[in-house]
Structure 1
Amino acid sequence: MNTPRDVLTPAALAMLQVIADSGSFAAAARASNMVPSALTYRVRQIEEALDVLLFDRSSRQAQLTAAGMELLREGNSLLEEIDAIANRVKRVATGWEPQFTIAVDSIIDRTTIMELCEQFFQMNPPTRLKLRAETLSGTLEALTSGQADLAIGVVMDSNTKTGLQREHLGTVDFAFAVAPHHPLATAAEPLSDKVIRQYRAVAIADSVKQGASMSIGLLTGQDVFTVADMSAKLEAQVRGLGAGFLPTCLANPCIDSGKLVVRKVERALQQVQSSYAWRQSSKAMQGRALQWWLDQLQAPVTRAALLGVRRQRHL
């Protein structure tokens, strides 16, 4: 017995549409240059495979049943998707990747990323774009594990795996900040580790799945409130739920408005070298989506904007 996969071919769906448009099997057979018995037999094959009636045969007119109308609705969508796939395949043959995945660290400015995505889609490429939200070591892991084609906002050191290419994105400065009503807002400066340890820290959960996770500015024995990303960390500290280091590019608006207070600490100020990275290959072997993104990231104004530094000139 035929299965639905055997009978639901593009040609069969087109034939059912002709019957529905013609209003009768005889008229559809003439329009399709078929004998009526052959057309009727093909329709019965489809109905048997689906175990439904597609047409009401109680009158001379071939009227669709509810099941038949649903099949044609979904069938038309399927035919449109087949056409779309064929067009994408043709365009992928020109060098575009079928899908391009970017791991975006939580320190990266989301507005800038979306502006870049908007520019990318304006080219109407055949590439499907996917963004992954990652944090700390998880951003690099997404790239090294093959789950991403490009990682933006990674922190890399000399022990980082080979086989990757990277470029410097910028230096991220951190400031120790608390809400005005937090006890550390009025404590004597510079704040010692002993004093800071008495109060809860707000930390971001490293999204790394395997290997050692990374942390910035945490003290041994300190109570920790762990949140999902940098935006949540900022909000938690504005609410006074804890203290900790924040990237100045993200915290400055809250500092300027008085929602956060910067406090001097005894330990050295935090700085992180942020990069973007991709798997090593010759330029000739790079897909056109990767080439486009790397070209955009070459612009100093784009790099600055990705780290939350907005200038007069826009992307």
Structure 2
Amino acid sequence: MPSPRDVLTPDALGLVQAVAQHGSFAAAARELGLVPSAVTYRIRQIEDALDVLLFDRSSRQARLTAAGDELLCAGQQLLQDIDAMANRVRRVATGWEAELTIACDSVLSQSTLMELAEAFYALEPTTRLRLREETLAGTLEALISGRADLALGVVVEPGTTPGVHSHELGDLRFVYAVAPHHPLAAATEPIPDEVLIRHRAVAIADSTAVRNNAMTVGVLAGQDVFTVSTMRSKLDAQLRGIGGGFLPEPLARPYLESGRLVAKEIQRLSSRSIRFSYAWRNVGPLGPGRALKWWLAQLESAATRLALLERHRAA
């Protein structure tokens, strides 16, 4: 009989994950290009080697048992460790990371970010670049959790978080805006809370995976809220008159100038400025790889930091 060490390979863990995700041996087989009997046989090999049942087969859907769930959780950590090891080995050999993941808050200029990515690829690096769009506390949380190596647009001060370095990106001014056909466009200013609360707010969902740490900004208690996932979606909703809310002034500027949005003073806060930072993880005694060094060097430029905050293109 094969031992656990013989059967617990990265491919085997991927197979368990595929069955768990699809809830079916047959569906997992289709995704992996295998026949269902091969999937069943390989799962049974793992179960025999561990002397446990990984899936409850009593219903039509394959469901993880408690033991299967534990294997999948531990296996995901093992796969992450293997990727990290490969990353370190490649950096020792070439100086380039195998992969660099950047979490960027959706409030920042996506066109500037793409220009930076274009310039990065012009170097012909061996590093795979991955961009994640995050919001509010989720940008820093992606970094702290290890899902990102660099975070742009951090709104929560990293403080004394072990292994995290940060630097100021800059201040961004926000304005409260509504469409010209929205009822609040004709409201007397400054608009008090008792008037504002009768109208829907458009808000961005915090992308943090730790829901207890999620942030809510600019919404009154008891107010109807339309929640979207990105700043671009929030802008679109406000242009359509679905609701009102704060927008980055540089993003709203062309629409304010063209009359497609109207800036309004509200009693609580007519405008506000938020300070953003960028942060990166300590990469140990080897120091930053060539990819992270390049991005950090670009961020040392005041012009680059300003472009990330202000150079938005109107749709």
The answer to whether the Cα contact below 8 Å between 1:152 and 1:276 also exists between their aligned partners in 2 is yes
Amino acid at match of 1:97: E
Which residue does 2:213 correspond to in 1? 212
Which residue does 2:300 correspond to in 1? 298
**Could you list the per-position Cα deviations for residues 43-88 of structure 1 after superposition, in whole angstroms to 9, with x for gaps in the alignment?**
xxxxxxxxxxxxxxxxxxxxxxxxxxxxxxxxxxxxxxxxxxxxxx
Amino acid at match of 2:108: I
Deviation of the 1:226 alpha carbon:
0.4
Confirm whether residue 271 of structure 1 aligns to residue 273 of structure 2.
Answer: yes
Q: 1:90 and 1:283, CA in 2 relative to 1: closer, same or farther beyond 3 A?
A: closer
Bigger radius of gyration: 1
The answer to whether the Cα contact below 8 Å between 1:92 and 1:98 also exists between their aligned partners in 2 is no
C-alpha distance in structure 1 between counterparts of 2:178 and 2:90, whole Å: 55
The answer to whether the Cα contact below 8 Å between 2:91 and 2:289 also exists between their aligned partners in 1 is no
Deviation of the 1:172 alpha carbon:
1.1
Amino acid at match of 1:215: T
Which residue does 1:173 correspond to in 2? 173
- Structural mapping, 1:50-65, within 5 Å: none
C-alpha distance in structure 2 between counterparts of 1:98 and 1:137, whole Å: 27
Q: 1:302 and 1:190, CA in 2 relative to 1: closer, same or farther beyond 3 A?
A: same
- Structural mapping, 1:247-258, within 5 Å: 247-258=248-259
Identical aligned residues as a percent: 54
The answer to whether the Cα contact below 8 Å between 2:179 and 2:238 also exists between their aligned partners in 1 is yes
Q: 1:174 and 1:90, CA in 2 relative to 1: closer, same or farther beyond 3 A?
A: closer
- Structural mapping, 1:82-93, within 5 Å: 93=93
Amino acid at match of 2:310: G
Which residue does 2:123 correspond to in 1? 123
Amino acid at match of 2:205: A
Q: 1:263 and 1:160, CA in 2 relative to 1: closer, same or farther beyond 3 A?
A: farther
Deviation of the 1:285 alpha carbon:
1.1
Amino acid at match of 2:299: L
Q: 1:193 and 1:160, CA in 2 relative to 1: closer, same or farther beyond 3 A?
A: farther
Which residue does 2:95 correspond to in 1? 95
Which residue does 2:262 correspond to in 1? 261
Deviation of the 1:157 alpha carbon:
2.9
Report the aligned-residue RMSD: 1.8
SS of 2:213's equivalent?
A: coil
Structure 1 residue runs of 5 or longer lacking an equivalent are 1-88, 311-315
Which residue does 1:155 correspond to in 2? 155
Which residue does 1:43 correspond to in 2? none
The answer to whether the Cα contact below 8 Å between 2:154 and 2:277 also exists between their aligned partners in 1 is yes
Deviation of the 1:91 alpha carbon:
7.9
Which residue does 1:245 correspond to in 2? 246
The answer to whether the Cα contact below 8 Å between 1:100 and 1:149 also exists between their aligned partners in 2 is yes
Q: TM-score, structure 1 length as denominator?
A: 0.67
**Could you list the per-position Cα deviations for residues 96-128 of structure 1 after superposition, in whole angstroms to 9, with x for gaps in the alignment?**
100000001101111101100011001101100
Structure 2 residue runs of 5 or longer lacking an equivalent are 1-88
C-alpha distance in structure 1 between counterparts of 2:197 and 2:156, whole Å: 28
Instruction: Tell me the matched-pair count.
Output: 222
